[in-house]
Amino acid sequence: MIQRVQTVFLVLMLFLYGVAQVYFETPKALEYKITTSVSSDFVLYLSFSALLVLSTIFFFKKRKIQLLLNRIQLFIHLMVLIVLSISFAFWEGFNNEDLWLLVPSSSILLILFANKGIKKDENLIRSLDRIR
């Protein structure tokens, strides 16, 4: 489980979520009139993403389920990236809140790298099955 390349990328995602939750400021640009706490939305987003990453790591023997979970994560991160980029487009200048754009964009890259490793493992196992 640990010696696989995709596990390294998924653990890097967990580390990224932890750093984002502790050190990044909550964006004030996304304050909704309906909800009162934007920070709870981001904590929920990071917690759900971390839960998906952990479940993906522990499904190391079922590569098809890993790929499915990674596709779900990819969709979630794309939606969050679109929402954040649209809402930050109306604010001028760079501040610490813009660092939140790094979380979904770097997560998308790490998911793509993990998917590449999972597919490589799947192809290796298929080739070994053909030899037998």
Output the pLDDT for position 72.
92
Return all residues near 99 (Cβ < 8 A) that are at least 6 apart.
Answer: 20, 24, 25
pLDDT above 70 (res 32): no
Output the pLDDT for position 97.
63
Mean predicted lDDT score pLDDT of the chain = 78
CB atoms within 10 A of CB 116: 13
- pLDDT, one tens digit per residue, over 102-117 is 788 889 999 999 989 8
Long-range Cβ pairs for the range 54-59 (8 Å, 24+): 54/14, 56/10, 56/114, 57/1, 57/7, 57/10, 57/11, 58/1
Range of the domain at 64: 5-131
CA distance 26 to 23: 9
The predicted model scores a pTM of 0.77
* Percent of the chain topping pLDDT 70: 76
Q: How many domains does the chain have?
A: 1
Q: Which residue has better confidence, 89 or 85? A: 85
